[in-house]
Amino acid sequence: MMSINRKIIEKHGLNEDEYKNIQKLLKRNPNLLELGIFSAMWNEHCSYKSSKIHLKKLPTKGKQVIQGPGENAGVIDIGDDDAIVFKIESHNHPSYIEPYQGAATGVGGILRDVFTMGARPIALLNSIHFGSPSHHKTKSLLNGVVSGIGGYGNCIGIPTVAGETKFNETYNENILVNAMAVGHAKKNKIFYSKAKGINKSVVYVGSKTGRDGIHGASMASAEFDENSEEKKPTVQVGDPFTEKLLLEACLELMRDDSIIAIQDMGAAGLTSSSVEMASKGSLGIELELDKVPCREENMTPYEMMLSESQERMLIILEDGKEDHARKIFKKWDLDFVVIGKTTNSKNITLKYNNKIEGEIPIEALSSKAPIYERKWTKKSFSKNQIDLKKFKKIKIEDSLIKILSSPNHSNKNWITNQYDQMVMCDTAQRSGSDAAIIRIHNKDKAIAVSVDSSANYCKSFPISGGKQIVCENWRNIISVGAKPLAITNCLNFGNPENSQIMGEFAECLQGISEACKFLDYPVVSGNVSFYNGTNKKNIYPTPVIGGVGLIQNLSNPINHLFKKENSIIILVGKTFGHLGQSCFIKENFSINEGNPPEVNLKNEKENGENVLSLIQKNLVLSAHDVSSGGLLVSLSEMSIASKLGVKIQKPKKLTNLNEYFFGEDQSRYLLEISEDHLTKVEKNLKKNNIFYELIGKTQKKYFEIEDEMKLDVNYLSKINNQWYYNY
């Protein structure tokens, strides 16, 4: 038996104090198998030891919430006995090391989180962040990740309907790959992971166990260094065709009352799935590891317990249901093996060839895992003022062209065309608009889904940045005529042992929490990803928000495409011309200066609710939120998508046109209104004290600002499309 020394302890991601705590909890020294299990369950990815105290501040309840954080995915009520199950998770480190498989297994893992709850997955989304386009790794990482996302989603037959792709040098050595899945279930057929009963069969189903992904969760809880390439063996290998079989087999078994509890084998594999089920049920669990189906010879108990091989589930069955369940999984050509039982010991007991190889109290791995209240520092508002004088010299036309042709604002069709967005035939609106729309099968109602992030804002002032992301997601959902219901979040940050990084995390969470509470937009699921960085260089704080909204009647879907000539264009919300941290200064001067724009939650709520009301009354032809790039970029996106032009008036108040057209003030929407509906719209907005401006009209062919610029829409489309294809 291998002796445990300091080097082995460090290799397992544990510090000296944590090892002493393990000895205290066990009342003895752990063996290597037990040390590996503690390593898996006590790392950041599984235990949330640095984030737990801050996550408690998030609002997680609401009348629409069926299940909040703590299960495989969140569940919300959308009426008529229908429920939506959704979650977003990171697969950052694996995707940097091996981009195709890292991204692919990120998709596979989040799908299992959803169908484990009893939901049929109906949509996939993603938020992917890469380094500077000029960095030597970016192109290959981009190609690999996009291929991995598309490859897995397309093969399993679930549409990838929305997402975002961003570039920033902060991700040069640590890309972000966040995958979101959304599923539909009946409210009375939601499945949970809480074990119940003694001597119940613990069943292993799905693929065989291999040596891929061992220490994957621990690897995701540590910074990279110059030897990161050596970690390729810790990246899992996915098989979407097997996952499809597993999905169908699980959903078939879920039609009756066979299942007590079910948990996918994700991070930390068999270890986390068995411990979590037992912990939630305050039970023990005994596993016979020689019964685990293995695809490689001579696998050790250590390897079996820590493998993160994909497409596997752990199920606890009701008495007498074994043969019934076995027939289903054999029909789908999947392994089905009873590998253990529940016990009243409150321990996890691991046997191999009838010999106990490890025994650990469940609470030592769960409730007694370390929780750290790490030191953190507050971020102050930047005192550097933006010099507006130098911006006056920049021509509006030149700025617009520069932004529309930049990597972050270029048309993403090169990416989205690699994803099957229409499979299952319920995609009513795909990527490109503010939010995708998925019809609930055979019904008139639908859900809207969107993902958003804003790392520059969060880096500059985390509280405002956290609020802004929630609000932008809220606006995106509203812009397609949906009532926002709930969010999931993926919180991507650097090293939590750094007080500045921990401060960014704490204050972003504060901003997210304040916005969610005010907007009644609860957080029902999510993920924390720390240690995103290489050689002490951390990424910008990048929380990602995935939102879900409800459209009760899909008879008149709304998007951001202008519908006809001579429509009135209304700008809802005040424009102050905020250029701090804007795309305008980034693309024109290659600088990130100033503070992010102020977020007025009262304005956000009132403006959003009134815009939604106008859409629901069929008074709006098209809608688009104003966000990155400001008013002119948002207008351009509407024109390019529809091939219709606009003629915009100059503002009457702001003297600096760049402030007006490129300022990134929040709480704003662009609405296209028919002339015959204008009176009703204005009456509604005035009645509710909503600030608005009539800024122009749609027209044929030309994108125009009076006396300032006139561009052919086809030309705008050309420059907006060229970057990805040239890259």
Degrees, nearest 5: CA angle 170-171-172: 95
Distance, CA of 258 to CA of 271 (rounded, Å): 23
Choice among 12, 91, 409, 560 that is catalytic? 91
User: Among the residues of 308-435, which ranges form H helices?
Assistant: 322-331, 362-365, 396-404, 413-416
Show the tokens assigned to 365: 């791995």
91 assigned to active site: yes
Distance, CA of 508 to CA of 541 (rounded, Å): 8
Show the tokens assigned to 48: 């949330």
Residues with Cβ within 8 Å of 653's Cβ and at least 6 positions away in sequence, in order, are none
Show the tokens assigned to 665: 């003030």
Residues with Cβ within 8 Å of 308's Cβ and at least 6 positions away in sequence, in order, are 212, 213, 214, 216, 217, 236, 265, 266, 267, 268, 269
Segment (H or E) for 501? helix 499-519
184 assigned to active site: no
Distance, CA of 279 to CA of 319 (rounded, Å): 21
Choice among 45, 54, 93, 215 that is catalytic? 45
Show the tokens assigned to 45: 């990815």
Distance, CA of 281 to CA of 261 (rounded, Å): 10
Helix, coil or strand: residue 206: strand
Distance, CA of 452 to CA of 164 (rounded, Å): 7
Strands (E), 500-632: 523-529, 533-534, 537-538, 542-551, 568-572, 622-625
Q: What b-and-e string marks burial along 237-253, b requiring 16 or more CB atoms within 10 Å of the CB?
A: bbbbebbbbbbbbbbeb
Q: Is residue 351 a contact partner of residue 286, using CB atoms and an 8 Å limit?
A: yes
Running DSSP on this structure, what letter comes out for residue 333?
Answer: T
Show the tokens assigned to 673: 């209104």
Q: 672, 594, 597: which is closest to 629 by C-alpha?
A: 597
Radius of gyration of the chain (CA): 26
Distance, CA of 178 to CA of 90 (rounded, Å): 4
In the block, residue with structure tokens 């969060």: 458
312-317 and 436-439 beta bridge pairing: unpaired
> What are the CA-CA distances from residue 296 to residues 108, 134, 209, 378, 545 (Å)?
22, 41, 8, 51, 39
Distance, CA of 74 to CA of 77 (rounded, Å): 10
Q: Is residue 229 a contact partner of residue 97, using CB atoms and an 8 Å limit?
A: yes
Q: Which residues are catalytic?
A: 45, 91
